[in-house]
Amino acid sequence: MKKQELRKLYKQKRTDLSENQIIDFQQNIYQQIYELDIGGIKNVHLFLSLTKFKEIDTQPIINFFRSRNIRIVVSTCNFKDNTLSHFYLEENTVLELNKFGVPEPVNAEQVDEKELDLVFVPLLISDELNYRVGYGKGFYDRFLSNCKEEAKFIGINYFKPIYQIEDSNDFDIPLHQVIYPK
């Protein structure tokens, strides 16, 4: 299937998940994340969840990394050029919803992409080559292409990867790993 079809299909599949399924899937995903080798990781980028879209709740992941003295980085969206700017998320960082309902940090310290060691990437579905389908604006592909070569990109998703996304292209950045409920 092509990205547009997959986007529509997996948005609906996510919408159809029950609260109990989401809780079970998230616990499984969290456990896999807690078992990752995080030696040498200083800065982790996470997305802040959109509960209205039933995205995976990243707060437990944030708490896990904070408990290991790893700094958390989150982004703000620039909708004029579909780019992201990155900021440290401290315990006292104020978050405000942007015009699309995405929580973003206010008056936080900015961070360059090259400082990130590990990036957790939201997605709707991925394939066996670790290419992903997101919401379709290209924010994350632009962002990941600017990260340092050693940075690791991990997608987290409720659904097992499909065989292939038919219309992946040269601008798509593959993930290093995708974590989904086993």
Distance, CA of 43 to chain centre = 14
The SS3 assignment for 120 reads strand
∠ CA 171-172-178 to the nearest 5 degrees? Answer: 165
Q: What is the CATH number of domain 1-30+41-74+115-182?
A: 3.40.50.10420
Residues 120-155 pLDDT 10s: 999 999 999 999 999 877 889 899 999 999 999 999
DSSP string, 146-173: TS-TT-EEEEE-SSPPBS--TT--TTPP
**Rounded average pLDDT over 44-56:** 92
The residue ranges of every structural domain in the chain are 1-30+41-74+115-182
pLDDT tens for each residue of 11-36:
999 999 999 999 999 999 999 999 99
What's 51's DSSP letter?
G
Provide the angle, in degrees to the nearest 10, between the axes of the packed helices 59-66 and 19-34: 20
Give the span between the Cα atoms of 18 and 23, in whole angstroms.
Answer: 9
> Is 80 buried (19+), middle (13-18) or exposed (0-12) by CB count in 10 A?
exposed
CB contact at 8 A, 36 and 177: no
Q: How confident is the model at residue 156 (pLDDT cuts 50, 70, 90)?
A: very high
Mean pLDDT over residues 110-127, rounded?
97
Q: Are 92 and 18 in contact (CB under 8 A)?
A: no
